[in-house]
Chains A and B, each alone.
Chain A
Amino acid sequence: MKTIILRTASDYLLPLLLLFSIFILLRGHYLPGGGFVGGLIASIAFVLHAFANGLENTKTLLRLHPGYLMPLGLLVAALAGLSPIFIENLPFMTGIWFQEPLPVIGMIGSALFFDIGVYLVVIGVSLTIIFTITESA
């Protein structure tokens, strides 16, 4: 499947799709989207890149094995859940928010970081599974 068209296209599609996935992740709180779908879209972006350029090239591009994203994401989600305990002495998983919305992104709160954790785990899980199967099949 290594056609020149797909390869050239994937070079431009990868950053676009990744941006799109982050867009989906961030809008999740108000409109359809969220960490789970965002993570899936980001994985699809990388899988497309791997199809076009070969798995080795995608791995070099990623530098780290995607498996590392799983513990990282879990950690981010857990810290987001724990943050109300440390910051405002509220129970586990209480949503806490910054007072002022940020430009472009909007309101920032612990739920967003939790969603970022989900996003990272989903990328890690799907890429790990797909990469592993690709290598071994």
Chain B
Amino acid sequence: MLLTLYKLMLIAILTGFLFSILLVVAGKYLKGKLAILSALVPLGLFVYFLQFSKRIANGEIISQTYEWVPSLGVNLGFTLDGISLIFTLMITGIGFLVFVYTAAYLKGHEYLDRFYGYLGIFMAAMLGVVLSDNIISLFVFWELTSISSFFLIGFNNKEEASRKSAILALAITGTGGLLLLAGVLILGNVAGTYSIAEMLSSKEVIADSAHYILIVLLIFGAAFTKSAQFPFHFWLPGAMKAPTPVSTYLHSATMVKAGVYLLMRFTPVLGSTELWNSTLIIVGATTMVYAAIHTIFRTDLKGILAYSTISALGILVFLIGLGTQDALLAACVFILVHALYKATLFLVTGIIDHETGTRDITALSGLRKVLLPVAIAGVLAAISNAGIPPSFGFLGKDLIYEATLHFGSSALILTVLAIVTNILLLYAGFLAGIKPFTGKLPAAFEKVHLPSFLMWLPPLILATLGIVIGVFPSIIQGALIQPAVTALGESGNEVQLKLWHGFNLILALSATTIGVGALLYFILKPSQKLEKGIAKLEFIAPQTIVEKFGVGFGKFSRFTTGIIQNGYLRYYVSVIILFLVLLTGYTLIQNTKYVIDYDSFSALTVYEVLTVLVMIVGILFTVFTKSRLAAVAAMGVVGLAISLIFVYYSAPDLAMTQFSIDTLTVILFVLVLYRLPKYLNFSDYKVRIKDGVLSLVFGALITVLALEVLSEPQGSQITDYYAENAYILAKGKNVVNVILVDFRGIDTFMEIAVLTIAAIGVFSLLKLRLTSKNRR
């Protein structure tokens, strides 16, 4: 039993959710010194996924399927292949270090347990995204990452800026989620399956379908919003309002990489077309250059890191767009490179912020004297970021140049763009990883002391890994990179990761990048002036446009709400009836023959004529009486007359119900009217005539409808079925009741639930008003 449980990937994904639920009750115990224990969750998951690496390296693909909604073809299918493995290891590995780091970073925080809860949900959702084979469940997990990241980004919810950026992030990524839903539904329809693995075989069908362009654009929309591609990038710098562990986790390894993951996952299904490749190249290149240039104008450490993250994501999208084997290999390697150095830099920034209280790069220097292990981590990360040998980053950058150089006719311009981006990224990395630690230590920072090892060890581990893998790339070559490239549909050549390729053009380009970048670092000093300079251009920034659109949309909503939801019940009723009349009337005019079959009517009896007369008198009295109470009583007469009609036409159940309902309705009306003042003013004639016309038209419509129903051939099959089977299947002789409690029992259950909700609504509305009145 334990062994089978151990194999369940579903359990692994759910662990994060279960952990969060556990915190609801056990949260107060995990807030104090035991906080570090929560890191066992990601650590356990990391080990769990690591044990698959050997099987994955042998070319195996592990998949498990659980039935979820089999009738809709939605199963919980999980697949672990090369790409998924890279992502799961990043999510759980960096997750583990972030969990550890948080224990010290937010030590003694009032809501530390909540924070771990959000992190746990987020981690579980991310694992769900990268492991789902079924695109519907992928969408569900995708949305969960958006929602849980909303809570993480807005964790400091007492600050307005924090709340605002959380909403902005949710709005942007949530819009992307809607696009994804539309995309996967159309894709599933076209492909005839919701399983990505099965889609691989119907690649041509998808590419030839009329909806191909739409599908690709919708998937792009989802990926670009999540992965902060231009022009949707602006939520990411805003999200820096979150506590640093969140920024680390979301922006180095998880959240923003989900869009990249989506593109990678769909590359074998949708890729290799002009639309796919060109769009990704253009968007990716624009993003990487645009964001890289932006890093120059920032003085906040986290701002610098935010823009360099966007730029790195641009590189990844760009590489996926190139789509050659070289490029996809470079993308797989660069994902890891970036995760390692960016997580380190974020964690280092967090320590600096935590200990000195500032992230202003112009104020920070000389911190190596007080924060030595942190300085080592920062410098190592900057080296990997810069691509200086023998770091892992050097490998990554080489592969990028190799990919752009071998890209046929546009090789030159693509390479130049890549070089410019890399130079600026190097500058940003040096600023974040080296600048705070060099130079003279200001007097203000002399008392800064090294925090607990829980904080400085995680970045040091990550930074060291960035160098170790660079020296021994074989560690990951067979286990991670090769299977990932295979999973991307490129099973041709064997991947060889090497540090030294001999003297060639790529080495020269690398050297140029490093040289120019370092030069830039020494010449260009970040300053407030630069930051203010770029602020002048903000009015054309995508963020400003989106925010203005948001404000305009809000105004428009208030305007329309003011018209439609004006608070007068009588207008609501008129609008609803008018709509019904127009829509139904239109259909009736289009499709009706107006043939009344007089023979099908039964002969009139005296009772019926009398009852109808009573009804007519009741209606006239209701309309023309001067007293409210009399009007209500007359309405009651009409209702009772209707129940009499039911009796004549042998529907005793309906008659009984109508009778009781009418009694209660009259009582309700009387109760309300009893307290109202006497008629203060009548509605004027115009309103009365308008209402009268509407009522007459509505009545006419119902009459026509009733006649139409009669002239249609009756659905006697259903009636016969119920009549025949009521006693056989449900042991009841009253067919109406049997339908209510047995055949259509679930409907009845829903109806009584709705009734309950309505009663709770009435109760809370009126009672809340009572208490607020009392308070006054």
Contacts and interface: CB of A to CB of B under 8 A. Distances in A.
Interface in B688-738: 729-734, 736-738
B515 to A, nearest CB: 72
Contact of A29 (B737, B759, B762): B737
A34 B667 contact: no
Nearest to A37: B656
A52 interface: no
B766 A133 contact: yes
B745 interface: yes
A101 B403 CA distance: 82
B745 A130 contact: no
A37 B741 contact: no
A61 to B, nearest CB: 18
Contact of A30 (B667, B733, B759, B763): B733
A22 interface: no
B766 A95 contact: no
B742 A118 contact: no
Contact of A130 (B668, B752, B758): B668
Interface string A24-46: 10001111111111001101100
A25 B770 CA distance: 36
Interface residues of A, number: 49
B752 A74 contact: yes
B660 to A, nearest CB: 4
Interface string B651-672: 0110011001101100110011
B731 A107 contact: yes
B741 A129 contact: no
Interface string A98-137: 0000000001010100110110011011101110111111
Contacts of B551: none
Given A32-B656, A130-B667, A132-B762, A121 B752 contact: yes
A111 B741 contact: yes
B741 A115 contact: yes
Contacts of A41: 660
B734 A32 contact: yes
Contacts of A128: 759-760, 762-763
A137 B197 CA distance: 63
B657 A36 contact: yes
Given A29-B734, A70-B759, A107-B731, A132 B766 contact: yes
B756 interface: yes
A93 interface: yes
Interface in A7-29: 24, 28-29
Contact of A125 (B730, B758, B770): B758
A30 B734 contact: yes
A136 B756 contact: no
Interface in B753-776: 753, 755-756, 758-760, 762-763, 766-767, 769-770
Contacts of A118: 740-741, 748, 752
Given A28-B741, A81-B745, A118-B741, 5 more contacts: A29-B732, A33-B737, A73-B752, A74-B753, A132-B763
Lowest 10 A-B CB distances belong to which pairs? Answer: A40-B660, A32-B652, A137-B675, A125-B759, A121-B752, A29-B732, A30-B733, A136-B766, A128-B759, A34-B737
